[in-house]
Amino acid sequence: MDGVLLDSEACWYESRIEFAARLGKPWTMDDQKLAMGRSTIEWAHVMQERLNLSMSLDQIMDDVITLVMAKLGEQLPILPGAVEAVKLSASRYPIALASGSPTRVIDHVLKITGLRSVYQTVVYGDDMQRGKPDPEIWLTAAAKLGVDVTQCAGIEDSGNGVRSLQAAGSYIIAVPSPKFPLAPEVLALADTVLPTLEHFTLDLLETAR
C-alpha cells in the first residue's frame, strides 16, 4: 500500500525524522531503507536498534503511527493511476491487498479510497509472524484467494517487498518511487518495472501468464 497506492513513504520518513529529532537523534535515508516494507513490529525494532533506544517497541510504534496518521489526515496522497489499477485488475482477476503497514493505517486508507469492497481479501502485516522480505504475507494472500502463489503477480515499490515476491515465486512488478529509488540489484529481480501505475494494463498481466 505505502509507496504503491499512496505516496506515503515520505510521510513515514518525515514522521521518523520528527520522532528521532524529539529524542535528539538523526534518522537517515539509510535508516529509512532498512525500515521500508517491513511489518510494524519489525520497523519499530529497526528504529529501536538504529537509534539505540531503551523505549519499548509499543511506545515507538504508537508515537510514529500517531505522527503518520496526522500527516495522512491532512491530505491522502493517492498516487496517479493507483485506484484505477486496482479496479482494472479486479475487473478480471481476484485481488488482495498484502501490506506491512499498521492495521489502523490500512483501514483508514481503504475507507477513504473506497477500495475495501474492491479487494477480495486484505492481509495485514500486523497479523503475520514474519514481515517482508519473508514471503509469508504473499503466501497468505494467495491462500485466501484460493490461487497458486506462483500464478500471482505482485506490485511492490520497496526492496524488501520485491525480495518477498521473489521468495514467494510470484511475478514481480516494481513501481519504485523517484524519492526512494531501488538499487540496481533489486530492480534486476523484477519481471517488469513501471514508472507509475498509470502505465499498468491488463495486457501486462496476460503477458505474465
Give the Cα separation of 174 and 125 in Å (integer). Answer: 20
Task: Name the percent of the chain lying above pLDDT 70.
Answer: 99
**CATH assignment of 9-74?**
1.10.150.240
What is the model's pTM?
A: 0.82
Give pLDDT, residue 46.
96
- 24-46 per-position pLDDT tens digit: 999 999 999 898 878 888 899 99
Model confidence at 176: pLDDT above 80? yes
Q: How would residue 180 be classed by pLDDT, with cut points 50, 70 and 90?
A: confident
SS3 2: strand
pLDDT score at 3: 86
CB 39 within 8 A of CB 124: no
Report which residue type is found at 106. Answer: I
What element of type H or E holds 171?
Answer: strand 171-174
DSSP secondary structure letters along 72-121: HHH---BPTTHHHHHHHHHTTS--EEEE-S-HHHHHHHHHHHT-TTTSSE
pLDDT at 101 over 90: no
What integer pLDDT is reported at residue 137 of this predicted model? 96
The label of the residue with cell 503475520 reads: 128
Grid cell listed for 71: 500527516
Choice among 51-65, 73-87, 129-143, 154-168 with the minimum mean pLDDT: 73-87
What mean pLDDT is predicted for residues 141-158? 96
For the segment 158-170, the average pLDDT, to the nearest whole number, is 95
What pLDDT, in 10s, does the model give residues 68-85? 988 887 778 899 999 999
Least confident of 58-62, 65-69, 146-150: 65-69
Q: Which CATH number fits domain 82-208: 2.60.40.10, 3.30.420.130, 3.40.50.1000, 3.20.20.80?
A: 3.40.50.1000
Q: How confident is the model at residue 52 (pLDDT cuts 50, 70, 90)?
A: very high
Measure the CA–CA gap between 123 and 143, rounded to whole angstroms: 11
Domain ranges within the chain, ordered by starting residue:
9-74, 82-208
Residue 209, pLDDT score = 61
Measure the CA–CA gap between 32 and 50, rounded to whole angstroms. 10
Q: Across-strand partners of 97? A: 122
What are the Cα distances from residue 166, in Å, to 146, 179, 205?
20, 23, 17
The rounded distance, in Å, linking the Cα atoms of 195 and 14 is 23
